[in-house]
Structure 1
Amino acid sequence: MILVGLWFSRKNKSAAQFTTASGSIPGWALGLSLYATFLSSNTFLGVPGKSFGSNWNALVFSLSMPLAAFIAAKYFVPFYRHSGEVSAYTHLEHRFGPWARTYAMVCFILTQLARMGSIFFGVALALQALTGLDMRTIMAVTGVCIIVYTVLGGMEAVIWTEVMQGVVKTVGALVILGLVIVGMKDGVSDIFRIGMADGKFSMGSFNPLDFGSSTFWVVFLYGFFMNLNNFGMDQNYVQRYHAARSEKEASRSIWLCVYWYVPVSIVFFFIGTALYAYAQQHPEAILAVKQQVATERHVSVESLVPADYGDKVLPWFMVEKVPKGLMGLIVAAILSAAMSTVSSGMNSSATVFLKDIYQRYINPSPSPKKEMRVLYIATTISGLLAIIFGIAMIGVQSILDMWWELSGIFAGGMLGLFLLGLVSKTKNATAVTATLVGVAVIIWMSLSKYLPATWEQFRSPMHVHMVIVVGTLSIFLVGMVLTRIKQLKTSKS
């Protein structure tokens, strides 16, 4: 990957090349790049851990992707391509003022740091089991390598390495699944029999009125709003729309991402269920994992349930059951799962810093050489901060749960403000009020669970997945209602 960065560094002479590859990327490569970004270590390790510990409820997130992709391909891609702005947040300043751009930019950077940190933590969790190295060392070495090739090669290196990484990750997942199936007494039939008996294929309750638990509809709503944010407001994706050769190829890349990600995510859920069935047939084999977790948490082995050690089962299986001849492929797949998402996160964070902070507040017209220096420094700093975030996450029980919670908190207000500006004729003052209301709702829903028992009546009754849903709708609907009230007052006067 570092050699790929060196190869593309020859062309990396301008900010346009560094941030959008000068619009030279074919649609198929862009689609695979988006797919690889989605398929991070949160999917590679978190999804099997989730399905091992519970069921297929989280798969509903993937099932919501086509609906979000339809809206993005039809409305968001043309909007950004016609705007000509590389930053996803510049238009918010044109629409509402500098505060809106700054608010969205801060939300994006916090989301990226949380995401990259969780990915570093996931890859360190797996490689610690494989190598015995300290997790902090793994994060530091991996992070430095990613920083080097991202700084050298820019967006073009990021996209083409993600194409390779996407293929490696997919092959690695299929190899792991094949090895688990081979380890079962009667193969796939045993997995379905045990999984069906223990409800492992369930996608959750279909009660449309229950918003307090992780039902099918709660996860679907979360997935739809989160994917809408990814395709519509996330600089990672918006930047790729500009990297495509044409608007048509940019739209196609979104659908190619969906066509790949949805079936492959099913493979990862099946891996988790297969590992659960394997553990039922080989209870003595999984005992080492349970003993490790019990020691870390100072509890008895008997008190543990599958959800307590789900994230550690796949790394354990790779250590104990993957033949040495295939171990290199699996390690490469795990590293690819981290590198693809983190490298694009670093590049997009650096782009946001250049466009929305440096050129907006410090130096509006830097020279090409100065722009490149700022991009190099910002990429490096974002990578180092991501490593620190990853180290801070050591000890988290579920990678996927943690990432979903953090992303819902940071992304809700950003998406609501974007939709308000896109759909309505809301003025600046109204948008400020709507955003303040939305942020207050997000803070209450996110933090009220920490209120003491005596204040239980003030806690949010909704599941944490509803934060992005309610936060987005709060900003959008409050803005629309206030705008309508003002219009009525104006017409009467």
Structure 2
Amino acid sequence: MEFTVIDYSIFALLLVLSSAIGLFYALSGNRQRTVQEFLLANRNMSFLPVALSLLATFQSAVAILGVPAEIYRFGTEYWFLGCSYFLGLLIPAHIFIPIFYRLHITSTYEYLELRFNKTVRVFGTVTFIFQMVIYMGVVLYAPALALNAVTGFDLWSAVLTIGLVCTLYTTLGGLKAVIWTDVFQTLVMFAGQLAVIVVGAWRVGGMARIWHLAEQEGKISGIDLDPDPFKRYTFWTLSMGGVFMMLSLYGVNQAQVQRYLSARSEWEAKLSCYAVFPCQQIMLCLSCLTGLVMFIYDREHPLAPAQRPRSSDQLVLYFVMDVLRDLPGLPGLFVACLFSGSLSTISSAFNSLATVTMEDLVRPCCPGLSESRATLLSKLLALGYGLLCLGMAYVSSMLGPVLQAAISIFGMVGGPLLGLFCLGMFFPCANSTGAVVGLLAGLAMAFWVGIGSLLQSMGAAREPYPPNNTLLPTASNLTTALATTLLTPMLAPQSPSGLQKFYNLSYMWYSAHNSTTVVLVGLLVSLLTGPTPAAAVDPRTIYPVLPRLLCCLPHKYRQKLCCGVVFPDQDSDHTDTVVKSNGMANGLVPPGSRQREQEAEGQGYISMGGAPEYSLQETSF
């Protein structure tokens, strides 16, 4: 199982074209001379490239390797995750995007300062940086390790090549280069997976036969309506728990929000969110069909014992190298597909980390920073995070079983951050003390459940062998940790009891569990320490979710549900006073907001002395 010259050529072509896109945008237009152009693509992107970039950002090699292996081992139940995509994308389009876009911010965490104070903003920023720094090293190292195990491709050559190419085009071309390379890499991902499905299905008699045999083998799952959250996968776990996971990714994550903010209008930003829905469904279908083809192909063409993969994540690569062995170039195309997932995820991480560091940590400390120096510093930050990614990949290679905990962190941190934003947007009475304490409580709960689950799984070998005994699970294998931690929850013991039961919570409920903890603790602390006065709340940062859900109530009751916060359609003069008397007068407007205000006025927004205000019609409820 080795690459041919054609395979290496196709793989190299992917890297060359990705670098060329970065160089093109570094040498064209304004040549990334302003912070807004470098970090937000000059807010001039159309919806389609933004949508494909949104898809590519978290469609990493983990999903390309892990989802087919999940279907191969446990059947098509994972396919019901697609049910969560509807609400998971509709809610960001109608709640999060309007608020973030109309505030005309650059970093998601600027919202936290406008809603609470600078301390909450710093806490949110540091939490996000911690999350992404750990994850991006893993995303770089894991597919390189899997490729090395299967094809003999030099491990550290792959790590250095991918890391340096990502760093090059992200640093030179900014967000515009990242978005357009994401578009190119998304097309490569589609092509690679489709090639494997077509050739594999042809070799075993077509998709109709594959589906029929999979159904006979019990791999086509029905709808399991069991509400037990401790059960590995059920319809409710995937469709409802998945909604919270999607919200943490597509609602408040800086890497995604930054793409919404790069759209040329709010409508284009919403449209990009709508366009992600069919793309996500297609990608999920391709991954699931790959898993079914793998299962039937292995059943009819089993590998020799010496060639069997040692872990679930290598299963896809072994299948690809076997089924495409007589078609030079196609293995290279699939490996290019695999590394496209890593490239898009890592480049997005570099750009979003540079953005939050610049806007949330550097600018507040250096308010007099010139535009040219700020742009140069943003590029240096992207370069620095690129080099840090290479260092994290090296550390990942030495962590062994502990890496499972590091990967779990990525899944666990998103929930508390989602809870923090929901606390601010939906509950006007929440104060900054409640926000900080709630975030810390959510993180503590996440680490307790996640690490407890990890230690319990390491103490007992509970992973079942897949059909045909093609998989020999090993807890110390890095990429096994990737697939089992992010895509496969720990299997429950026979009789969990007491606190141990929490350690068997399905990973799909992590975001819901942790975000709910943040909201409940944050509200309790806010009530105990004194709710935020209505006059101190900026109405632009609140979404009146209860009045809109209970729209049949009389107007006076819906006003009470707003906790005294007056929205522009109710009393625009009073709102002007409120806005001027809270964050705007207290220096809570992020640096550069005056320029953003002027830009916003040019787009037809109503200015209230700071960032752009809601229009009167759109804020009625």
TM-score (norm 1): 0.87
1:281 aligns with 2:300: yes
1:203–1:151 CA distance, 2 compared to 1 (3 A) = farther
Note the 1:12-161 alignment, pairs <5 A.
12-129=32-149, 131-161=151-181
Q: AA paired with 1:417?
A: L
Distance in structure 1 (CA, Å) of the matches to 2:124 and 2:241 = 19
Distance in structure 1 (CA, Å) of the matches to 2:296 and 2:23 = 45
Distance in structure 1 (CA, Å) of the matches to 2:342 and 2:201 = 26
Q: SS at the partner of 2:251? A: helix
Distance in structure 2 (CA, Å) of the matches to 1:337 and 1:486 = 46
* C-alpha contact 1:445 1:464 (8 A) present in aligned 2: no
Distance in structure 2 (CA, Å) of the matches to 1:86 and 1:337 = 25
State the Cα distance separating 1:256 from its structure 2 match. Answer: 0.7
* C-alpha contact 1:52 1:275 (8 A) present in aligned 2: yes
Structure-2 residue corresponding to 1:458: 499
Of 421, 432, 437, the match for 1:433: 437
Note the 1:28-427 alignment, pairs <5 A.
28-129=48-149, 131-184=151-204, 186-202=205-221, 205-283=224-302, 285=303, 287-290=305-308, 293=310, 309-322=311-324, 323-360=327-364, 362-394=365-397, 405-425=408-428, 426-427=430-431
Please identify, of 125-134 and 174-183, the stretch whose mean Cα deviation from structure 2 is larger: 125-134
The gaps in structure 2 that reach 5 residues or longer are 1-17, 461-495, 534-621
1:6 aligns with 2:23: yes
* C-alpha contact 2:433 2:525 (8 A) present in aligned 1: no
* C-alpha contact 2:100 2:111 (8 A) present in aligned 1: no
State the Cα distance separating 1:220 from its structure 2 match. Answer: 2.9
State the Cα distance separating 1:393 from its structure 2 match. Answer: 4.3
Q: SS at the partner of 1:64? A: helix
State the Cα distance separating 1:174 from its structure 2 match. Answer: 0.5
Q: AA paired with 1:160?
A: W
Please identify, of 374-383 and 125-134, the stretch whose mean Cα deviation from structure 2 is larger: 125-134
Distance in structure 2 (CA, Å) of the matches to 1:427 and 1:251 = 30
Please identify, of 239-248 and 439-448, the stretch whose mean Cα deviation from structure 2 is larger: 439-448
State the Cα distance separating 1:204 from its structure 2 match. Answer: 7.2
* C-alpha contact 2:75 2:219 (8 A) present in aligned 1: yes
1:99–1:62 CA distance, 2 compared to 1 (3 A) = farther
Distance in structure 2 (CA, Å) of the matches to 1:47 and 1:286 = 24
Distance in structure 2 (CA, Å) of the matches to 1:203 and 1:363 = 58
1:395–1:275 CA distance, 2 compared to 1 (3 A) = farther
* C-alpha contact 1:405 1:465 (8 A) present in aligned 2: no
Q: SS at the partner of 1:13? A: coil
* C-alpha contact 1:161 1:340 (8 A) present in aligned 2: yes
Structure-2 residue corresponding to 1:479: 522
Please identify, of 334-343 and 245-254, the stretch whose mean Cα deviation from structure 2 is larger: 334-343
Q: SS at the partner of 2:506? A: coil
Distance in structure 2 (CA, Å) of the matches to 1:31 and 1:249 = 10
The gaps in structure 1 that reach 5 residues or longer are 294-308
1:368–1:212 CA distance, 2 compared to 1 (3 A) = same
Distance in structure 2 (CA, Å) of the matches to 1:8 and 1:99 = 36
State the Cα distance separating 1:187 from its structure 2 match. Answer: 2.5
Q: AA paired with 1:313?
A: L
1:335–1:397 CA distance, 2 compared to 1 (3 A) = same
Distance in structure 2 (CA, Å) of the matches to 1:35 and 1:457 = 40
Structure-1 residue corresponding to 2:513: 470
1:89–1:339 CA distance, 2 compared to 1 (3 A) = same
1:432–1:61 CA distance, 2 compared to 1 (3 A) = same
Distance in structure 1 (CA, Å) of the matches to 2:279 and 2:405 = 25
Q: AA paired with 1:144?
A: L
Q: SS at the partner of 2:232? A: coil
Distance in structure 2 (CA, Å) of the matches to 1:25 and 1:327 = 34
Distance in structure 2 (CA, Å) of the matches to 1:203 and 1:288 = 35
State the Cα distance separating 1:317 from its structure 2 match. Answer: 2.5
State the Cα distance separating 1:163 from its structure 2 match. Answer: 1.2
* C-alpha contact 1:289 1:313 (8 A) present in aligned 2: no
Q: SS at the partner of 2:225? A: coil
* C-alpha contact 1:289 1:312 (8 A) present in aligned 2: no
Q: AA paired with 2:272?
A: S
State the Cα distance separating 1:126 from its structure 2 match. Answer: 4.6
1:447–1:404 CA distance, 2 compared to 1 (3 A) = closer
Say how many residue pairs are matched. Answer: 469
State the Cα distance separating 1:124 from its structure 2 match. Answer: 1.0
Of 447, 450, 455, the match for 2:451: 447
TM-score (norm 2): 0.70
1:397–1:208 CA distance, 2 compared to 1 (3 A) = farther
Distance in structure 1 (CA, Å) of the matches to 2:519 and 2:241 = 16
Distance in structure 1 (CA, Å) of the matches to 2:273 and 2:126 = 25
Distance in structure 2 (CA, Å) of the matches to 1:422 and 1:437 = 19
1:203–1:38 CA distance, 2 compared to 1 (3 A) = farther
Please identify, of 186-195 and 167-176, the stretch whose mean Cα deviation from structure 2 is larger: 186-195
Distance in structure 2 (CA, Å) of the matches to 1:128 and 1:87 = 37
State the Cα distance separating 1:414 from its structure 2 match. Answer: 0.8
State the Cα distance separating 1:403 from its structure 2 match. Answer: 8.8
Distance in structure 2 (CA, Å) of the matches to 1:439 and 1:325 = 46
Distance in structure 2 (CA, Å) of the matches to 1:334 and 1:429 = 44
1:333–1:437 CA distance, 2 compared to 1 (3 A) = closer
Distance in structure 2 (CA, Å) of the matches to 1:172 and 1:403 = 29
1:101–1:379 CA distance, 2 compared to 1 (3 A) = same
Identity of aligned residues (%): 28
Q: SS at the partner of 2:507? A: coil
Distance in structure 1 (CA, Å) of the matches to 2:222 and 2:130 = 30
Structure-1 residue corresponding to 2:551: none
Structure-2 residue corresponding to 1:301: none
Q: AA paired with 2:56?
A: A
Structure-2 residue corresponding to 1:305: none
Distance in structure 1 (CA, Å) of the matches to 2:317 and 2:217 = 23
State the Cα distance separating 1:252 from its structure 2 match. Answer: 0.4
1:90–1:457 CA distance, 2 compared to 1 (3 A) = same
Q: Deviations over 1:357-376 (max 9, x none)?
A: 1113x322312222123222
* C-alpha contact 1:49 1:272 (8 A) present in aligned 2: yes
